[in-house]
Amino acid sequence: MTWIFFALGSALFAALQSIPAKAGMKHIDSTAATALRTTVILLFAWLMVWITGQSAPPHISVKSYLFLALSGVATGASWLCYYHALHLGTVNKVTAVDKSSTVLSMLLAFAVLREPLSANMIVGMIAIAGGTVLMLKKGKREQSAADGQSGAENRKWFAYAALSAVFAALTSILAKYGIENVPSNYATAFRTGIVLVMAWLVVFIQKKQTALKNVRKKDIVFIALSGIAGGASWLCYYRALQSGPASVVVPIDKLSILGTALFARIFFHEKLNPYQKTGLVLITAGTLVLLVHF
């Protein structure tokens, strides 16, 4: 049952990472920021490999490496979409859409990994899905502000956040296949390397590397802090995923939305309207229902 504590640790650090990332992207392109952030996470991940001595064992199969690599590609796509959405939209709404990957992950875990789907898990998924919808509902003030924007502007951040959720769900399933008999810290470091290559490749393809010359030191510090929190979250998450069922580890990790809402209120003064507060309660309740049989 120690995997539960790692899953909770993953949620805490995941909540922390979005705040400095949002702050650091005010004056830097989101793709370039993702690449810089991933660089920090890679250094952090390999440091943990060195500290724990979890180097690559000689018996890792080609299958494990393949699924870890595919998981890394899915993660890279999810991060690029998520941080672009975060650059365009508010923290609370982007996070809510991203966390909808919980339901999709559970359905994939049932269909692909053959993990059991009990009655309370179905109730939990319904509550999480309903809460996510409410988190997106606008209050009166938000609706007035939205009326002055085009429909395309309102939908753009949502499209990227939705893609982030889809790729995040695929990440969990592919990683579950890839981390069998592989030390969690090494698996995290290997996957992060794949993400790093992918992120910088996108930066150079889009010719955004020149924008990095004008990045402020303050923004780099924020991006680095986000990377450290992200690295810690990953290490905890994949350690939990290695021992616990994906259908439960994933939703516990998604409880980070509670911390994100709190930090967004403190640092960005983002207030939740009555609909969003109800949605947050539903998401939390749905997640707790998933743990009843444990």
- CA Rg value for the chain: 18
Whether the per-residue pLDDT at 164 is higher than 90: the answer is: yes
Whether the per-residue pLDDT at 160 is higher than 90: the answer is: yes
What average pLDDT does the segment 31-35 reach? 89
Q: How far is CA 293 from CA 116, 121, 145, 238, in A?
A: 12, 9, 44, 22
pLDDT band at 150 (very low <50, low <70, confident <90, very high): low
Residue 144 lies in a domain: no
Give the torsion through C-alpha atoms of 113, 116, 119, 123, to 10 deg: -30
Residue 145 lies in a domain: no
Residue 211 lies in a domain: yes
**Predicted local confidence at residue 153, as pLDDT:** 58
Per-residue exposure over 31-50, b if at least 16 CB sit within 10 Å of its own CB, e if not: bbbbbbbbbbbbbbbbebbe
Q: Write the single-letter amino acid at 28.
A: I
pLDDT: which is higher, 238 or 286: 286
Residues 67-102 have pLDDT tens digits of 889 999 999 999 999 999 988 888 888 988 887 887
First to last CA, the chain: 9
Residues 93-146 have pLDDT tens digits of 898 888 788 788 888 888 888 888 888 888 988 998 899 889 888 765 555 555
Residues 174-225 have pLDDT tens digits of 887 777 677 777 888 888 899 999 999 999 998 887 777 778 888 889 999 9
**Predicted local confidence at residue 166, as pLDDT:** 93
Residues 7-23 have pLDDT tens digits of 999 999 988 888 898 88
Q: Please, is 150 exposed, middle or buried when counting C-beta atoms within 10 Å of its C-beta (0-12, 13-18, 19+)?
A: exposed
Angle of CA points 8, 84, 228, to nearest 5°: 40
Whether the per-residue pLDDT at 289 is higher than 80: the answer is: yes
Residue 40 lies in a domain: yes
What percentage of the chain carries pLDDT values higher than 70? 90
Residue 143 lies in a domain: no
Give the torsion through C-alpha atoms of 264, 16, 164, 231, to 10 deg: 170
Would you call 176 helix, strand, or coil by DSSP? helix
Q: Quick one: CA dihedral 37, 8, 54, 61, positive or negative? A: negative
Structure tokens at 56: 């690559």
Residue 146 lies in a domain: no
Residue 244 lies in a domain: yes
**Predicted local confidence at residue 293, as pLDDT:** 56
Tell me the pTM. Answer: 0.81
Q: How far apart are CA 83 and CA 192, in angstroms?
A: 16
Range of the domain at 169: 1-54+61-138+153-290
Average pLDDT value for the chain: 83
Say how many domains are in the chain: 1
Residues 223-271 have pLDDT tens digits of 999 989 988 887 888 788 778 887 778 778 878 888 889 989 998 888 8
Whether the per-residue pLDDT at 147 is higher than 50: the answer is: no
Structure tokens at 283: 């998401």
pLDDT: which is higher, 147 or 13: 13
